[in-house]
Chains A and B, each alone.
Chain A
Amino acid sequence: AQSVTQLDSHVSVSEGTPVLLRCNYSSSYSPSLFWYVQHPNKGLQLLLKYTSAATLVKGINGFEAEFKKSETSFHLTKPSAHMSDAAEYFCVVSDLVDDNNDMRFGAGTRLTVKP
């Protein structure tokens, strides 16, 4: 069955420094992978998605992620953090094998950005 592990529950960076949010996945077949962002008291918004095209995926607000099949990873990065990036981030795996759940979420990583 598919599963997602977000390796850090909380990441704290200073404004202007790089962001790295780590995600490892398990899937029987070629999965689709997504990163969603949730700002406080809001719904989730798609940041970017990987669907078996280019392995380096660019998303909104300067975020990008690289699909590494050999490492089963899909880490999210941004070169320079902004205060508005403070939010909770979810990695999601999707494949066609799990009939009961086609979007499996990681536990989330809370990003704090210090001035």
Chain B
Amino acid sequence: NAGVTQTPKFRVLKTGQSMTLLCAQDMNHEYMYWYRQDPGMGLRLIHYSVGEGTTAKGEVPDGYNVSRLKKQNFLLGLESAAPSQTSVYFCASKESRMNTEAFFGQGTRLTVV
């Protein structure tokens, strides 16, 4: 039972490069989320999706884009990476909006130099 899988686990980018982070879940969850985790700031929501084909902005969406073409996958893209995007990125999914547990991936550690 894989749960939520993120790829890659580590990546180093040069400023200006682009990349896509993939999140895959096998629990048939409707809701999917991308967070970034920075020291002393907890997890901050970048974008989220409430179902296949939908996306919405969270707290800190600037510099990121997302797509949810298939229910099980949620992609996070950085078109032109900046050092300020150095962070640990977590994907999560859950069954419904309220009162349900969120399941998290193992994280992607991204460094932009």
Binding site for B on A (CB under 8 A): 4, 9, 32, 34, 36, 41-46, 49, 51, 90, 94-96, 100-103, 105-108
Residues of chain A lying within 8 A (CB to CB) of residue B79: none
Residue total for B at the interface (Cβ-Cβ under 8 A): 25
Chain B 24-65, CB-CB to A under 8 Å as 1, else 0, gives 000000000101000011111100100000001111000000
Bound Cα distance A18, B35 (Å)? 32
Task: Determine whether the beta carbon of B42 is less than 8 Å from that of A43.
Answer: no
Q: Tell me the dominant secondary structure on chain A's binding face.
A: loop
A51 to B100, CA, bound (A): 9
Instruction: Give the distance in Å from the alpha carbon of A100 to the alpha carbon of B97 in the complex.
Output: 12
B107 touches A103 (CB 8 A): no
Candidates B41, B58, B99; contact of A107 at CB < 8 Å: B41
